Structures are given as structure tokens and as C-alpha cells.
Chain A
């Protein structure tokens, strides 16, 4: 899989390799009706499934259930799988592969953008951008009362020129954690970003997310 990745920095190769293990793919594009197995899904919110499934295996009073599923490809559902990953059965949910592809390919990457103090949120389509700079430029346009303070991207902060307040771009990832925008390669970012929040610097500092003056974070320009 990594041979298909666009050449990037060595940093992105390393991180993308380990990320690939937990990355969801609903079957490779163009695969049509082959019986590809869907890799395990990383979703901590659904730990209950495996327990439920195990319970039902017991209820079925049918010992051969276990044998079928344990023989299968490692990522299929079955007893004894670590609870951290929710396995997903082939062909479930029963959505036509045409529709699955259409939904996957289309803009599932719309994320909400909130700015502390602004009366309403906006939505941006992360697919429209190819790097952090473009995203920041667009956020600048959306929230016109703010401007990007630093053009060489040493520090990704927005600044409310009028009020003299600084904003730090943060995002919520799939695990529900709030992260600083810019740490991970762009491709990884757009896949795990669920929403963006431009946090007031003061608040960010309290939450120890804002970079200290001595160690500015450099977002990878990939």
C-alpha cells in the first residue's frame, strides 16, 4: 500500500505506515464485486460490539461458529479479538458498492469550523485544499475579521486585528482529542479531522496546546 502513496518526507512515510494499519478502507476503488475483506476498524466508541458478539456466540450453542470466523482473514469479526478494534463484516452494512464508492469519493470531508466568539460556524470541504496554507487562507476568508498573522507558517495562528487577540487553530480528531493543527502530514490530517476550532490563544495556553515561544511547531507543507 505504501508504494501507492505520493512521495513525501520520510516523516510522512513512517507515520503513514503505522497509520495504515488502522486506516479504514471499504474495499479498494474499482474492485467491483470481489469478496475483499474489510480491514478492522479503529473505533473506540463501539467496544461493546465484540462483547455482544461473544455473548451471542455462546447463546447460539453452536461451537462451529467460532471455527468459521477464526479461520478467516485476521480482520473479520470473531471471538477473541482485542476489544479496541471493531471488526466489520464483509458486505455490512448492506449498501450497494456503487453507493459506497460514491459516498466515499464525494465530499465526506466537510468539517465544521468554529471560532471562539463568532456567532455562527462555517463548514469547509477539506478536499478542496492540498496543504495547510490553502486551508488557512480560506479560513482567513471565511472569518474576515481575522487575519493570518504569520505568513511563513512558522506559527499557525490567526489574529483578530481589531481586538488584538490571537487564535490558535485546533481540531478534534477521530478519537475525540483536541489537537493542534499542523503536526501531522496533510493527508493524514484530512482523514482524521472531524471539526476545527480556532481557539483563543489565552485559552489554548491554559490547555497547554499553544506552542511556547521557544519551540514553534512547523506543519509539514505536504
Chain B
């Protein structure tokens, strides 16, 4: 026995089971990763006890290595395409296929229970294989994925006997209409969460009614557009225990019997804290939900363009406990003023553009944001699409809300300066990064010079993700960021004058990051080649537009889109023709 000094009592004195029990309390991925680096013994204990793994880039590691290291894996989160794929900047078929992962897991002895995918290509075949391979499979969450149809969902419904969660968020699903819901067997009574709001097609209304009726544990239900108002009422009668509700079609006549029935059904749902949907709605319909507004902590009206100004403010005035609000900019600056005076607990605000043509209708400006910052001191997460922004406003916001973790500002008109002073927004964003010491994610817009990047490099010490568009003057800008932001993990840049000098100054930096995206910048093929040569641990992908069939091998040629990421498994084998891995 080794006694040692009390102060240096080694943890290795304890048997593995004790350490494992201690590690059980460590749930964050970062912390568990750190634990595994302490020593070989901890690495071993940690890997056998690890149940949840997060892989931010599916190409950074292979399924085989995952399986080898974590035999006790129960929950896997995978992300595929880069973020800018959301905005049509990445061609179809770039990659991010989940099938190889499911195939490998199915062959192994892993008892997978939960799979969470973001921006991946999911085929019906993979869903079917998934549904048949894991007896205890409980939870499937798909966010911004594509490649599957309702047939794949039917397989999940039919075969996953203990399914608790089927959560489909904003996926592009080929809807073969309606019978997948009937695939849930009568014996399936375990559902806790069902979200099919993104499905476009008709569903079997009788099937959803029966399903909800036999799911006593159902806490979260988000319906699609095809579910009519009176069905909603019937569902609520069956599920008064709901905590999270997403309505489908919410159009109805307030003088009708259906309206009264819904009102009384909703009043029984005393646990609803989260409300979304309203995919079809007219202003006069919203009074039906006033009874539950007082307890709402999350309200998502961002898919309800039928609601404007007054309708929204009348509703929000009932929602004093809101912590997260997602709305369209038709709320207007005045409406945001009402939010500011009503929602004192607000932590997260997302204001989406309702008018993508830019006809200048009903948008918000810096005024709305200033109101919010003044009225909601707990605000820590912002996504704000607006017509314009001023430095003065940003400086005020920075003073009022020093707790921002996520700050994403999108001025609809690219490179728009401060309309009052006609200057760049460097000082405004500078104030944000200086004041918000915990800032982890930042998206910039408007007219910006290298100066803003100097500020970011200097002050944004916790910054992990930065998105830049149409900004900067020279390579200096990018260098300030790369040199200054020690915790940077993801950097995505489009349409900025950053070139090889910035790209190549510190190539080792990219090994500390998950990925770098640069499109329509000044980087050349030669620069990318040099980088790839120097850093074999990186995968440097050049993505060509389809028109550029004669993509020349001239090193001086500017690269349209470059995506690089660190990887432990070399170049991927599934890249399509238009992707060139250097």
C-alpha cells in the first residue's frame, strides 16, 4: 500500500469502479476528454465508461476507431456538412453520409440507444438498418438533414419497439404521404417526444390521435401544417401533460365551436412551457392560447408570417416568463419595445427576416435591439436580422448586456455602414467583444475594416466560432483573429480580401481548430497546396462550381471555395467529383 503524504494521495489508490463512479458525474464532453488525457489508467477507465460521444465533424474520425475506443457507447452525435451549407454554399452530394456509421455500428456489439445528426445525408436504407440493428434504440434526432423519405420514418416507427424520441427539425424530407404514422404498432406506448413539423405532406389524422392517446409519457409534440385545428383540440384533450407543443394549422373562426373546445382543452394543459408552430395562422386566432402564455418559457413564432405588430405584442404581453423568443421582424422596433418591457427573464432572442426580397417592409433596426438590451439584462444569446445598425447602438447594447455568449448580427444589406455617421461598424462590434468576456460565438455584418478584427483578436478570448462576410481590407484582418483568438474552433469566411499570406502564416493553428471555411476570398490554389503539403493532418478540400469544368491547375488561380479540417483518418474516400482534396 502506498500511503504517501495526504496532499499527494494518488487517485490511483482507488479501484477502478470508484473512479468510474466519480467520472459519472462528469458529463460534459470537454471535461471527459480532459479526463482521458490525464494518464493511461484514467484513459482506460474513461473510455470504458463513456456512454455519450460528440463528433463535430464526421470526417475527423472513422466509425471503426470510435467503436474500438468506446465499447460502451450509447449515444452518438454527428455533424456533417459545414455550416455554410445551410445557405446553399455547398453543393448537393458534397458528403456527410451517415450510412457507413450505422453500418459499422450495426456490425459491432455497440448497444446504440440514441443518434443525433446535423447536416448529414440520411438515406431510407440507413434508417431501416438503424431501426433493425439496435434492440434498445430510443432516440433519433435529425436536424437539417436530407436524403430520406417518410418510408425511412415508417421503418423507425415500426421497428424501434422502445422508441422514446423522434425529433425532426428543419429537414428536407421527401414526403410520400401519410402512412408512416400508422407504422407505430399498437404496442408502442413509450413515446416522450414526437416532432414532425417539417414534413410537408398529409398525415393520417386518426393515426396521430390514436398514437397520442396511447402515449401517456408524451411530453413534446410538434405537428405539421397538415394537422388541422380540430385535430389539435382532440390531441390536447388526450395529452394534458404536454410540456412542449408545436401547433400545425392554426386557422379557425373565433366564433366557432372548435375554438371554444380548443380553449378549454388548452386550459387543461397546465404544463406547457414551450410553444411553436403556427405554420398557418391568422391574427384573430391567437387569443385561444392566452390562457397558457403566463407560464411559457419558450415561444417560437418565426414561421408565422401572418402575425404582425399588434397581434404579436398583444400576445407577448401575456408572456412574462419568457426566456427564449423566436420571432419574425414584422414585430418591428416598437414590438421589441413591448418585449423589452414585458419579458424580463429573456435570455435568448432570435429575430428572423420576414421579407427576403428586401422590399423594406416591416423590418427592425438598431432601435429595437437597444430597447431589448435595456429591458432584458439576462440576455445572453442573440440572432438579429435588421435593416441597419449603428455603432452607438452596439456600444449601448454592449454596456447593457455584458453576458452575451452568442452574438449574431445580420444587417440585410451587406457592407452597410452606420447610417448616422457613415462609418464602419468596427467600434460597435469592438465594444461587444470587449464587454462580453464570455463570448463564444460571433457573426459580423455591415461595413467592417481590419480594425474590427484587431479588436476581436485582442478581446475575444473565449471565442470559439466566428462568421465573417464581406468584411476586412487585407490579410491583416484574418491574422489578427488567428493570432489572437486562442480558443477558436470554427472560422468561416466568405467574400473577404484574405489571401495566402493570412492562410499560411501559422499553419499549425488549424490543428487546434475543427475547421476553416473560406469562399470567394483571395486564397489561391497554390496557397492551398502549400498548406496541404505542410499539414498532413489536415484535409484541404477545394470545392468547384459545376460550371468550372475547365478548372485549371494554375497555382495562381483563386479558389472559389476551400474547406479544411483536422482529421485523424486522412482523406475521405467518398468525395464527389467536384471536390478536390489536396
Contact = CB atoms under 8 A, between A and B. Distances in A.
A62 B474 CA distance: 9
Contacts of A60: 473, 497
A151 interface: no
B182 interface: no
A220 interface: no
Contacts of B522: 62, 64
A93 B89 contact: no
A43 B358 contact: yes
A24 B469 CA distance: 23
Given A68-B520, A91-B89, A103 B354 contact: yes
B305 A103 contact: yes
A40 to B, nearest CB: 12
A62 B497 contact: yes
B415 interface: yes
B87 A103 contact: no
B170 A99 contact: yes
A125 interface: yes
Contacts of B94: 33
Given A35-B89, A52-B415, A106-B280, A98 B356 contact: no
B312 to A, nearest CB: 14
B501 to A, nearest CB: 13
A56 B415 contact: yes
A188 interface: no
B90 A33 contact: yes
B416 interface: yes
A125 B88 CA distance: 29
A202 interface: no
Contact of A106 (B86, B279, B360, B467): B279
B352 A95 contact: yes
Nearest to A55: B415
Nearest to A86: B358
Contacts of B412: 93
Given A88-B358, A174-B359, A97 B88 contact: yes
Given A95-B353, A96-B170, A45 B359 contact: yes
Contacts, number: 130
Interface string B16-34: 0000000000000000000
Nearest to B147: A32
A107 B469 contact: no
Given A93-B385, A107-B280, A108-B305, A36 B415 contact: no
A138 to B, nearest CB: 13
A102 B224 CA distance: 12
A94 B497 contact: no
Contacts of A123: 283
Contacts of A52: 415-417, 447
Given A90-B89, A174-B359, A96 B415 contact: no
A36 B88 contact: yes
B202 interface: no
Residue among B86, B146, B417, B546 with the highest chain A CB neighbour number at 10 A:
B86
A132 to B, nearest CB: 22
A103 B301 CA distance: 12
A24 B558 contact: no
A98 B497 contact: no
Interface in B296-322: 302-303, 305-306
Contacts of B257: none
A148 to B, nearest CB: 23
Nearest to B86: A96
A93 B356 contact: yes
Contacts of A65: 497
A218 interface: no
Interface string A37-74: 00001010110010011001001111011001000000
Contacts of B87: 90-92, 94-97
A151 B94 CA distance: 57
A100 interface: yes
**Overall SS of chain B's interface:** loop
Interface residues of B, number: 57
Interface in B397-456: 410, 412-417, 443, 447
A34 interface: yes
Contact of B86 (A64, A94, A174): A94
B30 to A, nearest CB: 27
Contacts of A102: 279, 303
Interface in A95-146: 95-100, 102-104, 106-108, 110, 123, 125
Nearest to B94: A33
B359 A93 contact: no
Interface in B355-391: 355-361, 385
B220 interface: no
Nearest to A92: B414
Contacts of B356: 26, 93, 95, 100, 103-104
B104 to A, nearest CB: 26
B518 to A, nearest CB: 13
B88 A27 contact: yes
B92 A98 contact: no
Nearest to A90: B88
B393 to A, nearest CB: 19
B367 to A, nearest CB: 20
A36 B90 CA distance: 10
Contacts of A93: 353, 356, 385, 410, 412
A41 to B, nearest CB: 6
A94 B469 contact: yes
Interface string A12-32: 000000000000101100011
A104 B494 CA distance: 25
B10 to A, nearest CB: 51
Given A90-B89, A107-B305, 16 more contacts: A24-B357, A32-B92, A33-B92, A33-B94, A35-B91, A45-B360, A46-B413, A61-B473, A64-B522, A86-B358, A94-B87, A94-B443, A99-B303, A106-B303, A106-B306, A110-B305
20 contacts: A26-B356, A32-B172, A33-B88, A34-B92, A36-B88, A45-B360, A46-B360, A60-B473, A62-B522, A90-B88, A91-B84, A93-B412, A95-B87, A96-B170, A97-B87, A99-B170, A99-B352, A100-B356, A103-B303, A106-B306
